[in-house]
Amino acid sequence: AQSVTQPDARVTVSEGASLQLRCKYSYSGTPYLFWYVQYPRQGLQLLLKYYSGDPVVQGVNGFEAEFIKSNSSFHLRKASVHWSDSAVYFCAVSGTGGYKVVFGSGTRLLVSP
C-alpha cells in the first residue's frame, strides 16, 4: 500500500523568498505523484504531476517539483513566493492501474509581507 509523509505541518516564509515543501512517499512500484493546493473554502486544485520522464516537472504559477527515486521524495519548490500562495498544499501518490490516490496530511503555507 502507498503512503505519503509531509513532515512540516506549517511553513512560514516572507514574500519574495524561495520555498520548499517536503514530501516523501512509500510505494513499492512505479508511483504517480501529485501536488495539489487548497485555498480556503475551496476544493483541491492540481499544481503539477509526475508520471515518468524528466524528474523535474513544471506546474502552474511558477511551482516545480523534483522526483528523486533514490530518496523517495517529491519536494515542491518555488523561487519567489507571493502572498497569494498562502494555502494548504497536499502531496499525493498513487500506483499505476489503480483508482486510489493517497494524500499526505498537508502543509499550511503562510506568506508574510
Partner 1 sequence: ETAVFQTPNYHVTQVGNEVSFNCKQTLGHDTMYWYKQDSKKLLKIMFSYNNKQLIVNETVPRRFSPQSSDKAHLNLRIKSVEPEDSAVYLCASSSWGVDTQYFGPGTRLLVL
Q: What are phi and psi of 38, to 5 degrees?
A: -125, 115
Q: Give how far the C-alpha of residue 108 lies from the chain's centroid of Cα atoms, to the nearest Å.
A: 11
Q: What are 100's three cell numbers?
A: 486510489
Exactly one of 13, 21, 23, 34 binds partner 1 (CB under 8 A); that residue is: 34
Q: Tell whether residue 53 is a contact of partner 1 (CB under 8 A).
A: no
Residue among 45 and 112 whose Cβ is closer to partner 1? 45
Exactly one of 22, 62, 66, 103 binds partner 1 (CB under 8 A); that residue is: 103
At CA 103, angle to CA 51 and CA 113, rounded to 5?
Answer: 95
Exactly one of 65, 94, 109, 111 binds partner 1 (CB under 8 A); that residue is: 94
Q: What are 79's three cell numbers?
A: 523561487
Residue identified by cell 500500500 is 1
Q: Tell whether residue 22 is a contact of partner 1 (CB under 8 A).
A: no
Residues in contact with partner 1 by CB under 8 A are 32, 34, 36, 38, 41-46, 49, 88, 90, 94-103, 105-106, 108
